[in-house]
Structure 1
Amino acid sequence: MSGKAVAPWVRTRLRTAPGAAGALALLILLTAWLAAAYPRGIDTYENDGLRRTVAAAAPGRTALQFSAGAPGLDLGDEQRAALVSPAAMKARFDSVVTDVPAPLRADLSQSAYGLRTTQQLESDEPFLPRPEKLPPRFTVATPSDLASHVRLVSGRLPAGRADQKSAGAEAAVTAATAKTLDIKAGAVLHVDGLGRPRLALTVTGIVEPLLPQAGYWSVLPVLRTPQLLQVPGTDPERPKYWHGGLLLAPDAAPALLATPGKPQMYAQLAPDTSILNARRFDGLKSAVAAVQSGPALTKIRTSFSVTTGVYTELDKVFLSYATVRDSITPVVAVAGFGTATVAAVVLLMAGGLAAARRTAELALLRARGGSLLQIAGRLCAESAVVVVPAAALGLLLAVLAVPHGRLGPALAAAAGVAALGCLALPVRAALTHRTVRSAAERTDLVREKPSARRTVAELTLLVLAVGAVFALRRRGTTGGSADSLISAAPVLVGVIAALVLVRLYPLPLRWAARPAARLRSTVGFLSLARAGRASGGGALPLLALLTALTTAAFGGSVLAGADDARDRAALYATGTDARVDSDLPLPKDLPDRVAGIAGVRGVSPVHIEYAVRLPDDDTTVVAGVDPASYAALTATTALSLPADRLKAPPGAPGRAVLPAVASPSVAERLGTQPVKLRVAGYDLTIRVVAARERSAAVPQSDFILVDTAGLGAKDPTALLVGGASVDGKALRQSAESGHATVRLRSEARREFADSPLQTGAGRIYGAAVAAGAGLAALALFLSLLRGAPERSALLARLRTMGLTRRQGRTLLILEALPSALLAAVGGALTGWASIALLAPGIDLAGLALATTSGLAPVGSELRADPVSLLLPAGCVVLLATGAATAQAWWSGRRGSITELRAGDAR
């Protein structure tokens, strides 16, 4: 090895085997691309999930709402008016925006400030509607920058200054308020004054909000949309009144100081979701805590008002995001660990294949005095010339394919792939040729005895796998971040199974070879003998296949379980395929009209009464249903109920004892004796005959189901609609009403799955499983390719002895089947065992549902999916059989002369 080389080693080797170099470059390129894209993909869906969670939450929850009492009566009127002037209010607002700590930042386009009343002001104008003879009441506010957030429908925006002594002021109302309360431009609304005559508010314009669901309008939604409220009290039949909003010009704020509305200064800051970053999540939580009760609040009180209070539920929104993310992260990490393991095995196998093909060359170098360090160095340099550019290109493609996310983890992943690709060949060559040896030594798997080092390594992995499984079953994956050992538990189970199966592999070969030797045909015995002569390195492809099959089974079961959980959650959210709900009785002809809509297979009317008082003074929901149509509609769902359970006995309503089905908590309180209730102004007597966890009529709360025939009030307030392909648009048109809402089960299911956390994690999991399957197929191909020259030569020799093409094809297929069946059966069993062992610690609610609103325990437990277990295993057998058949066909086409050339190393 000393002396100057005639030709550079690396250039010579690359020119000699360009195909092998190109194949290695392609393998490294794809592996580096996948490895670098994985962490960037996780960053992307976590950032998108955080932004969507905050954006989808009610603005009243996410906004930072600061409020302080109006200037006190100890000051003069002019001083009080100056403190609520537009300039003073803006200065205080600007200081609040500045004092909010980073990384939290306000979205100024949806933030607002001003003066508003906290006690509703009554107006008794005769043209205002009175649903139950009560005049409407108003909240009056002076929101900032109103002109930028509205479109003028009629009239003009309010303007002009008004103070405590002014007789009137100008106001505007939204189009929804004007329509509901019958207010037109030019109308005058009088509200009470404080120690002065009533204040006349002249409506100068009607406006339409530009973004009605955004933070500017939705923090205090009554300014946008009127509400039908009940007067305070405990009586469930309290009278109702309309509550609306009036919008004054900021210069008219002093006029509110002379009303009994208890005005207060306010500033509402909508969070800027565009800058939210999941990697700065701890900083975001700290910033919210500082605003709620920390140094930031102290600074705000100094600049805004010493009595400033703050309200926000942004911390709870962050907590809900963290709960879902922390339940998803360990599950996704399982796929990452599995695919990374298979990728590493494939890279090692590629290096092993290259070393095996060059065994004679490397043995000759060792025999001529080459040191291991010199040989390994040259092989490493030879690999690096191909691997490093390919890994760099893979990193570039990953950055282009996933443009968002951190570069550091992606760079580290690509570097790891490059390092493994560079070291696989030289390390394998050094281990194989650490002593000078012949190039033709046999490594018979049947005769090869495991070394003490191998036994210790297997026992170490066994301890790690048992520890990971025990920790996962005991602690679960909810409530914490990903644990590497726990996430790698399915992979470790696959590793142990691979090592155990390799140890057990010789036994069935010995058992099967004895009777096969007595058969007339030699094909069976020869195939078993060939399978037993496989290299002891066969543990590596078996490890790749078992790990990939375990990960695929685990991942397929996870995705199938998530789909099942979404189906159940959607059913529990709507009760049936579609439903129409209303606070008031629905039109009598609506059931017939809905039944005629395309895709509807059945309609069941329901009368629902809320807040029905029980004997213990608690309240619940009572639903009257038609037993026959209700049973038919729910017969094929998890909420089915036989019609005879609810059928009312003959008799006038209120006299007979009605059988009832109740939720468990209600059934426990009522017992089995007859109980009198008052429902919708009618007395009835019920007896609980059965308990159900959920019902289609009232799917999300405690309930009592009775026969509508026994109720005094029979007009339906809801319709349960059956049909998997209901035309939602037509249903909404038929049920079009100001008080009716329509919800489809399919829409509810999409709501559970539309979070970027769920969809992003699902895509990454699916991509990881697919990549692992592809790499496992490549591992199987590499293992077959390693022995392909020897098998081709064997077929050529046997053909000279009379072996037919059919027998040759059968020989290669039977030779490949033992290892393929071993991997398939072992992979299916390992996948099933991993799911059975780890299922108690895996919570699929985070991956399945885009909400944590109480619908998580709807059957989101991990269960083995038969398709995910059997399909990948069957593909392994088919792939191995197909590869053997293809080789037999190709060898037959080439002929025997090419394979029997003298001097070829086989």
Structure 2
Amino acid sequence: MRVALLARVHLGTVAVLFALTLVACLLVAGLPRAMQGAFDDALRRSLATASAAQADLTVTVTSSSREQDLRERSQFDSLDHQWRRITPAALRSVIASTSQMSAKTSLTPVTGTGGKQYVNLGWLSDADRRVDWVRGRAPGDPGTTRYKGQTIPLLEVGVVEEALSEMGLRIGQTTTLGESGHAAVKIVGTFKAKDPGDRYWQRNADILHVRRILPQGALDFERHITTLTSDAGLSAISGEGRNLSYHWILPIAAGSANAQAAPAVKTAITDFGRVAAVQRTRGVLQTGLTKLLDDFLAALASAQTVMYLVLGGLLAVALGVIVLTTRLLTDRMDHTLALARARGGSLRQVAGAAAALTALAVAPSAVAGYALSFLVPGPVLPIVHVGPVLVVVAGVGFAAARTALAHRTPLHERRDDVASARPTARRITLEALVIVLALAGAYLLRARGLDAAAGQDPFLLLVPVALTLAAALITLRCYPYPLRLFVRLAARGRAAVPFLGLTRAARARSANVLPVLILLPALGVSVFAAVISDGIAGTQRLASWQQVGAPVKVTSEAEIPAAAIARVRAMAGVEQVVPAQTGRVQVGYSSERAEAVAVDVAQWRRVLAGAPVGLPALPDGTALVSPELRGRGTIDVGWQSRMKLGTQGVIESVPGFHDKGKFMIVPLSALVRPAVNVLLIKGDVSLDTLARLLPSATLESQEGALAAIRDDPLTSTVRWTLLVVTVALAGYALVAVVLSLVIGAADRAVAVSYLRTLGLSDRQAQRLTVLEILPMILVTALVGLGLGLGLPSALGPGVDLSSYAGDLPVGDYSLDLLTPSALAAGLSAAAVLGAYAHTAISRRRGLGAVLRVGDLS
């Protein structure tokens, strides 16, 4: 058969199939790439913004004798090559090419200070590139000196300027270290970091700053500083008699990380640590990268769960719409193929012609959609290749199979006036089994939760499919029954159009209503996506208020002077300022401690007016306590003075301050002399101006916290994908409505033509068509909306979206009525407009173009 001629005859349908396939393949191949690219960006951002202690790998080797000492740089380089050689390939791919090596002593006391001052010895492999010497000179070769009749090593060292004033040191001073195994250091210069904000110094903060440590039970602080010595001085640092450790820091190259390899990297870290420990030098691996990857993979698993659900629904609906269009194409070809079959054409030729025409439409468009998907940034996943192939196979395979079944015998004739057979007991049993299994699956998913060990739990992916199929079966079987009730009511009236329209809707065959059921998964998944998106947005706003506790919060380590508070109150845009004091207080007379916030709760509640968080009233002389402090009646609190406060109530969290542990809110008036260190501000405040007024304070805003949550790459990816899928599915739902109108157009035209011979007017024909189509669309739309609204609750613990909502559980899946109303109204409007368009087109046809000779006899 001439496929090109068939394509010209049915050009309109072929063009529609081409466009639908192009869009479907672009979405199926492009969205996964965009998602995976966003996942990679999220991991790289997480690694880049993490502290050095979290992200980098540190191999530590300790020395306790001269035999274990490393005295030359070449020894460090040799061990660095060893660590990199035993690093697993998956981990090696994300490690930077250069290492940072160091040698440091710890807890090296200054002789005669009673453990109050510690001057540790340090060496950095790249100190010459990291520091500038500002006074004196750089350290030189080591020497020896005499101490109590013994010859001890003397090292030349440098310190930061801060150490001179904090620890009473001076350039040129020689200091003896240790209580046994003494050594001496001579301070020959001071230095400063070339870039103090470089991530490098997070690992070496002990060199840049004096650490002040208050031991438990002590009244005076210990002061610790680590000095810098030269490569030559390294030979004089020994682990004999002091705590000496060598470090090889392997920095992570965040730009080379990708989300797909994250599990392999996590496993490689464990393997690397195990292998390093059995080397001759017995290296100990220290890193927070495993915890960082665990947190990322947990958030990624939630994102992938939602993505698989909505993209799976999108693929199913896209395939369904393409199959509907293919059915329309084969229906249009039915007369031609029947004629060819009657003239001796084989079944293979007839089915091959239908498949070839379909392939002519879907194959080029699939290739075009596949090619366009490469304009979307992101890695190429297997679904990018498999998705378009699946679309082509579904379209061509359905065309071949349907044509082969319809033309098994030549000169086939279908009788539209024969009543359809009742479903068999076996079919009813199978459908009931599907419904029971879907409900049981939803119950078990909520009861048992997810199988974390299985990664993507297949149970979670199957339950939504089963629920959608169950809802479709129930709709298909039950929708005629309410319609028959309306038919009986319409039969009592004098108008014939309502009775005829509803009767045709109630008696529609299963084959005629199946196209409309594409609406059910389309609406279900799109509403599910909208519900999830709204739930995330609402919880993000709640989380931002929980994090800050006010539109603007000012926190200071020192007391905020009253004059500064007055200047803040006088700022433009400030409506209210609530002062507060925070501190750690004694509970009772024991060692029990709790975090406390002293504030005027009545004023704070006015600041929180209209916010999703709030606080109960707090009368004077009472306190609000955390769940861990409940049931104690009157609480004795030690804070500035002893206070006895009655327990007014229990609160789960204090917005902007505490959400776990032991905490309480007390009235600010209960303090003898409040030392305000927090300001809660309401109003449209300029943060830059506020920062200039309080330069030493930390500023937080609710809007800033909300923006930070929303700007997270994973969060923005989830919400963006949900929006795209919602729009795409809404479009597919409209296409399904149009296709259902077109597929039944021929049969409907015959019925309307019969009635026109009996005096049916054009307006009555339009109303008849609307009443025939609209009930099924409305029923399916309502079921789809209900399914979408119920899926989040049905999936229960299977969808954990807290990672995208400030670590708060997303449990409020309420949906604004605007979304379902717009979807239902849009579909109904499309059905009505389609019905009017159909009758307008049919009106231009003569009865002879529809009715055959003998049809009216």
Q: Same fold (TM over 0.5)?
A: yes
C-alpha distance in structure 2 between counterparts of 1:565 and 1:179, whole Å? 51
Match of 1:632 in 2: 606
Equivalent runs, 1:612-761 vs 2, <5 Å = 612-643=586-617, 645-647=618-620, 658-668=621-631, 671-673=632-634, 675-680=635-640, 682-696=641-655, 698-701=657-660, 702-723=662-683, 725-737=684-696, 740-761=697-718
- Quickly say closer, same or farther: Cα 1:744–1:443, change in 2 above 3 A: farther
Tell me how far 1:121 sits from its aligned partner: 5.3
Residue 233 (str. 1) matches residue 211 (str. 2): no
- Quickly say closer, same or farther: Cα 1:62–1:478, change in 2 above 3 A: farther
Tell me how far 1:533 sits from its aligned partner: 5.6
Render the CA deviation track for 1:236-281: whole Å, top value 9, x for unaligned: xx54466555444433334554998633211111223333333333
The answer as to whether partners of 2:446 and 2:797 remain within 8 angstroms in 1 is yes
Match of 1:655 in 2: none
C-alpha distance in structure 2 between counterparts of 1:376 and 1:876, whole Å? 34
Residue 410 (str. 1) matches residue 384 (str. 2): yes
Render the CA deviation track for 1:287-340: whole Å, top value 9, x for unaligned: 111222x23432xx33xx24x333222222222222222233323222122112
Residue 112 (str. 1) matches residue 71 (str. 2): no
C-alpha distance in structure 2 between counterparts of 1:146 and 1:499, whole Å? 73
The answer as to whether partners of 1:339 and 1:768 remain within 8 angstroms in 2 is yes
Equivalent runs, 1:427-446 vs 2, <5 Å = 427-436=401-410, 439=413, 441-442=415-416
Identity across the alignment (%): 25
Equivalent runs, 1:360-759 vs 2, <5 Å = 360-406=335-381, 408-436=382-410, 439=413, 441-442=415-416, 449-451=422-424, 454-455=427-428, 457-477=430-450, 479=452, 480-532=454-506, 534-610=508-584, 612-643=586-617, 645-647=618-620, 658-668=621-631, 671-673=632-634, 675-680=635-640, 682-696=641-655, 698-701=657-660, 702-723=662-683, 725-737=684-696, 740-759=697-716
C-alpha distance in structure 1 between counterparts of 2:619 and 2:398, whole Å? 72
Residue 330 (str. 1) matches residue 305 (str. 2): yes
818, 823, 835: which one pairs with 1:872?
823
AA in 2 matched with 1:822:
V
Tell me how far 1:692 sits from its aligned partner: 0.9
- Quickly say closer, same or farther: Cα 1:415–1:269, change in 2 above 3 A: same
The answer as to whether partners of 1:138 and 1:245 remain within 8 angstroms in 2 is yes
Tell me how far 1:584 sits from its aligned partner: 1.6
Per the normalisation by structure 1, the TM-score is 0.84
Greater displacement, 451-460 / 522-531: 451-460
Tell me how far 1:743 sits from its aligned partner: 1.8
Residue 67 (str. 1) matches residue 60 (str. 2): yes
Tell me how far 1:447 sits from its aligned partner: 5.1
- Quickly say closer, same or farther: Cα 1:332–1:373, change in 2 above 3 A: same
Tell me how far 1:204 sits from its aligned partner: 4.1
C-alpha distance in structure 2 between counterparts of 1:172 and 1:888, whole Å? 92
Residue 262 (str. 1) matches residue 224 (str. 2): no
Match of 1:219 in 2: 203
Match of 2:545, SS state, is: helix
Instruction: Tell me the matched-pair count.
Output: 843
The answer as to whether partners of 1:443 and 1:536 remain within 8 angstroms in 2 is no
The answer as to whether partners of 1:157 and 1:172 remain within 8 angstroms in 2 is no
C-alpha distance in structure 2 between counterparts of 1:776 and 1:477, whole Å? 31
Tell me how far 1:763 sits from its aligned partner: 2.6
Match of 2:789 in 1: 832
Tell me how far 1:346 sits from its aligned partner: 0.9
Greater displacement, 531-540 / 345-354: 531-540
Tell me how far 1:791 sits from its aligned partner: 4.6
77, 92, 95: which one pairs with 2:79?
92
C-alpha distance in structure 2 between counterparts of 1:356 and 1:666, whole Å? 74
Match of 1:852 in 2: none
Tell me how far 1:847 sits from its aligned partner: 4.3
- Quickly say closer, same or farther: Cα 1:453–1:164, change in 2 above 3 A: farther
- Quickly say closer, same or farther: Cα 1:492–1:224, change in 2 above 3 A: farther
C-alpha distance in structure 1 between counterparts of 2:402 and 2:825, whole Å? 32
Tell me how far 1:30 sits from its aligned partner: 1.4
160, 166, 190: which one pairs with 2:140?
160
AA in 2 matched with 1:158:
A
Gaps of 5+ in 1: 1-7, 126-133, 648-657, 850-854
Match of 2:709, SS state, is: helix
Tell me how far 1:232 sits from its aligned partner: 0.9
Match of 2:148 in 1: none
C-alpha distance in structure 2 between counterparts of 1:551 and 1:795, whole Å? 36
Greater displacement, 688-697 / 163-172: 163-172
C-alpha distance in structure 2 between counterparts of 1:899 and 1:585, whole Å? 95
RMSD: 3.6
C-alpha distance in structure 1 between counterparts of 2:760 and 2:173, whole Å? 106
The answer as to whether partners of 2:177 and 2:185 remain within 8 angstroms in 1 is yes
The answer as to whether partners of 2:585 and 2:637 remain within 8 angstroms in 1 is no
The answer as to whether partners of 1:607 and 1:715 remain within 8 angstroms in 2 is yes
Match of 1:341 in 2: 316
Residue 206 (str. 1) matches residue 192 (str. 2): yes
Match of 1:843, SS state, is: coil
C-alpha distance in structure 2 between counterparts of 1:660 and 1:381, whole Å? 79
Match of 1:45 in 2: 38
Match of 2:275 in 1: 295
C-alpha distance in structure 1 between counterparts of 2:88 and 2:854, whole Å? 73
Tell me how far 1:478 sits from its aligned partner: 6.8
C-alpha distance in structure 1 between counterparts of 2:478 and 2:226, whole Å? 79
C-alpha distance in structure 1 between counterparts of 2:851 and 2:742, whole Å? 22
Tell me how far 1:111 sits from its aligned partner: 3.7
C-alpha distance in structure 1 between counterparts of 2:112 and 2:659, whole Å? 39
354, 359, 367: which one pairs with 2:329?
354
- Quickly say closer, same or farther: Cα 1:698–1:505, change in 2 above 3 A: closer
C-alpha distance in structure 2 between counterparts of 1:64 and 1:546, whole Å? 51
Gaps of 5+ in 2: 146-152
Tell me how far 1:411 sits from its aligned partner: 0.9
C-alpha distance in structure 1 between counterparts of 2:144 and 2:411, whole Å? 105
The answer as to whether partners of 1:848 and 1:860 remain within 8 angstroms in 2 is no
C-alpha distance in structure 1 between counterparts of 2:586 and 2:805, whole Å? 35
789, 812, 825: which one pairs with 2:769?
812
AA in 1 matched with 2:767:
T
Render the CA deviation track for 1:708-735: whole Å, top value 9, x for unaligned: 2221231201112234x54333332332
AA in 2 matched with 1:86:
R
Per the normalisation by structure 2, the TM-score is 0.89
C-alpha distance in structure 1 between counterparts of 2:854 and 2:104, whole Å? 92
Greater displacement, 257-266 / 31-40: 257-266
- Quickly say closer, same or farther: Cα 1:532–1:256, change in 2 above 3 A: same
Match of 1:699, SS state, is: coil
15, 20, 28: which one pairs with 2:8?
15
The answer as to whether partners of 1:552 and 1:868 remain within 8 angstroms in 2 is no
